[in-house]
Amino acid sequence: MRVRAFAIASPHSNTVGTVEVECTAEGLVLTYIDAARIGDEGVPIAFERWQQVLINWSFVHRARLLGAALSIEFELPSMGIQRCLLVHFSSGHDVTLQEFQQKRLLLRLWTLGTSIVLASAIALSAPRLSPTIGPLMGLLAGVTFAVILVAIGARAERFLSDGGRRSKVLGELFANDLLAFVPNIPHEPLQVSAKPFAWPRFDGILPRTTLAISLTLAGALLAALIMFRWIVVAHDDDSDRLVQQPTDPGRVALVRPPQPAATPKALPPPPATASIESSPPMTPPIAVPNAGTARTSGPCQCQRADSLLWSQPLPRVSLIVLSSRRYKRHEHEHVEVEFAAINNSDKDVSELTSMAEFFQQDPPPSSKLVSVSTRAVYFQGPLHPGEAIKWHVDAEGSTFRLHPPAENGAPITGSIDDTGSNAAPTNAIAKLLKAHNRPVRLHGAMLLAFLRDPRAKEATVELGDSLRESESSYLRRLLEALSELRMCQVQVAGSSSQRRVLACVFNTTDTPRTPVEVIVRALDATVSTADPVGAPPQIMAEKSAILPGSIPAKSGVFSQIDVDFSGLDRPPAAFEAMAQVAAAH
């Protein structure tokens, strides 16, 4: 039987390398494929490659099994006593001991490098992905993962070193064959002495040329710089967010907001009627000075509350700004933008394209914008109903504008109708609530509220549990649209400071509601869903009026409210109204 094995160094062996051994009637045939013997002074003397010797059985002095290894001692007339400790038996593959050691080295380096990189990524990204995970827990998770990966790598290296079960079986078969010529082979456990830790040597795998070494070091440095930049750059920094400004229809223009002079207003408490089962009690209703008169008339119905979040028809595909920041590079302003496209419709979208156009603004007092660069984005598709795809672009400029998306080169037209018959399935939209980016989650909650899905209120409350200041206005409007007192068919008449608000106020509960207070707000800008966490329109004034009588259960009444918005420095750009049970005085 002929087998190939590795002769390894040990205190009781003086031959190392790859050999083949075979038992024949004439003697033990030994082939030195790539091996050397250790001389008396410890200097290795290489055998000629593929040198073959025939050893008479009378010169084979001893053989014994040491665990999965086989120790053979024999005498060569020209070289003296030779001792081989054979491991990793095979039937004749072409891997030599040097190649095998390189594989072990690569496995060690891969295990060590992968454990360090992935453990670092977990330790650094876990606190950023979830606010509930602190830096210490992220570090502990990263170290735990590294230990598990190193243990798996050590197990794999041992399996590779032993050769597995096949090597053990071949070694035992060769030992049985050897028994016919060298009887009474003892079987002893292999004693392995502990070795001090030694760092792996790289000289066997590093490139040899100067150019290759330079490229290797440059690649490692580039990877380190990219990782460092990802760590230090805060992508969700709200102070660098760009806010929406009015622009041409069908486009979204965003510019850098001025730094606020005072602390921003906190989220107004939600109406007392906007509650949810198993959720904590809401805060008391908003107290607004009564500054208007109200009248009510005949019954009415509200299928959905009016909201500025869907005052304009929802497009088939929405472009949502996820994050944006402005920075300087080589004394030039640059804008970095991450945005997503969300398929609101029930049809697939194929070959989705869009473009971000970047502008420089002339110094004050001029507000002229000059286009300086564009970045086109592409998604092969299909983008299924309720799915989102995101892009990241970066270019020189101080502001940017997102062009409407296109499908197969043609602009995507049409919108979601008022009944929601052509909207994406609510189960598909609900998956947006688990998205990594919170603006996508906010958009998903808004779509569910528009489609009157009961999961909308729970999703809004859950988002409010980890409220960020930039999201307060968006979540407040969602809560008001989902409250137990709905307002729909809202119309604001008049063009001076005197305004008349006509609306249907509907009670969705099983009990009458009284007294009901209607609050009307005047805003300095319109509301857009293109940047859910951007700076919202500011409230210029709030007026309220108490409706006479009560609103029966599961019923609604038409209301007419006259309010006075005198004293404003400019006409309001938009109005919104909400109803609540009036606070007790």
Q: Confirm whether 34 is domain-assigned.
A: yes
Together in a domain, 455 and 328: yes
Q: Report whether 529 contacts 340 (CB < 8 A).
A: no
37 and 184 co-located in one domain: yes
Is residue 89 domain-shared with residue 11, that is, in the same domain?
A: yes
Q: What is the CATH number of the domain that holds 58?
A: 2.30.29
Q: What is the pLDDT of residue 95?
A: 58
301 and 504 Cβ atoms separated by less than 8 Å: yes
Provide the 10 A C-beta neighbour count for residue 155. Answer: 10
> What is 356-367 written as a DSSP string?
EEEEEEPSTT--
How much is the pLDDT for 393?
Answer: 93
Q: Are residues 140 and 215 in the same domain?
A: yes
Residue 56 and residue 151 in one domain: no
pTM over 0.75: no
What are 258-307's pLDDT values in tens digits? Answer: 333 334 343 344 333 333 233 333 334 444 444 567 899 889 999 999 99
Task: Quote the crossing angle between the two packed helices 455-465 and 438-450, to the nearest 10°.
Answer: 150
Full domain range(s) for residue 359 = 317-465
Same domain, 331 and 448: yes
pLDDT at 220: 64
Confidence (pLDDT) at 130: 56
CB 556 within 8 A of CB 516: no
Considering the domain architecture, whether residues 37 and 182 belong to the same structural domain is answered as yes
- In this structure, the number of other CB atoms found within 10 A of the CB of residue 565 comes to 22
56 & 139 share domain: no
- Does residue 368 form part of some domain? yes
Which one, of 112, 200, 202, 104, lies nearest residue 160 by Cα?
A: 104
Length of the chain: 585
Query: Rounded to whole angstroms, how far apart are CA atoms 521 and 91?
Result: 86
How many domains does the chain divide into? 3
Amino acid 100: pLDDT = 66
**H-helix or E-strand spanning residue 485:** strand 485-493
Q: Which two tokens stand for residue 148?
A: 């598990």
Q: Are residues 217 and 182 in the same domain?
A: no
| In a domain? residue 220 | yes
**Do 175 and 149 reside in the same domain of the chain?**
no
State the virtual CA torsion across 124, 130, 134, 138 in degrees, nearest 10: -40
> Which two structure tokens, joined as six digits, stand for 473?
């206005």
| Cα–Cα separations (whole angstroms), residue 300 to 296, 297, 303, 453 | 11, 9, 10, 22
* Averages of pLDDT over each 10 residues, the chain, 585 residues: 82 82 86 80 76 85 79 81 84 63 71 76 66 66 79 72 71 80 65 44 47 61 60 41 37 39 39 33 41 81 93 94 88 91 94 92 83 92 93 92 91 93 95 92 95 92 80 90 93 88 95 93 89 87 91 94 90 92 74
> Domain check: are 173 and 156 in the same one?
no
